[in-house]
């Protein structure tokens, strides 16, 4: 599994590393792939890490100077891990730097879209999640709505967490969508079960 070897380094006692560990572990929760229909691909798993990294950085940006500085260190840890992951996957040394810079640029675009969504443009949030996380995969409307609602819920939960804990490397995400949430959301939206090809494994 990618994003693992980073945490074997001595620096993993640092707050930024502990935050990134929590972000990575939350992004890998099976419920997202089983109930919210997130495709189980390298690309979508990266996008789930990117979404949770954004949520962590969004919260840190709301804090004082210490929190903002931690946000920058967290960002550096995130992209250092991408660099290492690409090398472990066999990407040539000469092209890794260019690929990481491209990912960093695209990540800033995701930040803008997600921030607009959290600021109140829920249509923009759903579209950003559909485009980034689901990609070309068929998307069940209820599962997409659940992922958007989860992002809003997570942002609210992180805002409520004490800054002292966050700057100490502690972060608590809410539970991912559950099976009963999918059924309730379909009922609320007035839609039936998705076609067979849209049901995630």
Could you report the per-residue pLDDT of 135-190, keeping only the tens digit for each?
998 889 999 999 999 999 999 999 999 999 999 999 999 999 999 998 899 999 88
- Supply the pLDDT for residue 171: 97
Closest of 99, 191, 187, 188 to residue 139, by C-alpha = 191
Query: So what's the pLDDT on residue 201?
Result: 37
Q: Where are the domains of the chain?
A: 13-191
pLDDT tens string 99-140: 666 766 778 888 999 999 999 889 999 999 999 999 998 889
DSSP string over 35-59: TS----SHHHHHHHHHHHHHHHHHH
Query: What is the pLDDT at residue 106?
Result: 79
Q: Which pLDDT value is given to residue 99? A: 64
pLDDT at 53 (0 to 100) = 96
Task: State the Cα–Cα distance between residues 194 and 201, nearest whole angstrom.
Answer: 13
**Rounded distance between C-alpha atoms, residue 41 and residue 39, angstroms:** 6
Predicted confidence at residue 7, as pLDDT, reads 42
Q: What pLDDT is recorded for position 92?
A: 54
Distance CA 111, CA 143 (A): 22
Picking from 22-31, 89-98, 134-143, 192-201, which range would have the lowest pLDDT averaged per residue? 192-201
In percent, the amount of the chain with pLDDT more than 70 equals 78
Give the pLDDT band (50/70/90) at residue 40: very high
CA-CA distances (angstroms) from residue 135 to 14, 37, 129? 34, 12, 9
**Stated pTM of the model:** 0.84
Alpha-carbon distance of 200 to 39, in angstroms, equals 8
* 63-84 pLDDT, tens digit each: 999 999 999 999 999 888 876 7
Q: How far apart are CA 61 and CA 149, in angstroms?
A: 21
């Amino acid at each position: 599994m990618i994003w693992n070897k980073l945490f074997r380094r001595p620096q993993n006692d640092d707050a930024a590393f502990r935050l990134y560990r929590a972000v990575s572990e939350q992004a890998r929760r099976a419920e997202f792939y089983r109930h919210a229909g997130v495709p189980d691909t390298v690309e979508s798993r990266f996008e789930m890490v990117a979404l949770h990294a954004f949520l962590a950085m969004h919260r840190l940006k709301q804090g004082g100077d210490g929190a903002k500085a931690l946000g920058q260190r967290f960002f550096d840890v995130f992209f250092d891990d991408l660099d290492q992951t690409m090398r472990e996957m066999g990407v040539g040394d000469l092209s890794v730097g260019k690929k990481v810079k491209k990912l960093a640029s695209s990540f800033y675009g995701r930040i803008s879209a997600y921030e607009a969504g959290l600021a109140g443009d829920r249509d923009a949030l759903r579209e950003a999640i559909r485009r980034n996380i689901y990609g070309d995969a068929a998307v069940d409307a209820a599962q997409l709505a659940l992922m958007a609602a989860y992002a809003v819920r997570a942002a609210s939960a992180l805002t409520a967490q004490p800054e002292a804990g966050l700057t100490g490397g502690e972060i608590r995400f809410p539970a991912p969508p559950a099976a009963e949430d999918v059924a309730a959301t379909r009922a609320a939206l007035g839609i039936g079960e998705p076609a067979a090809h849209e049901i995630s494994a």
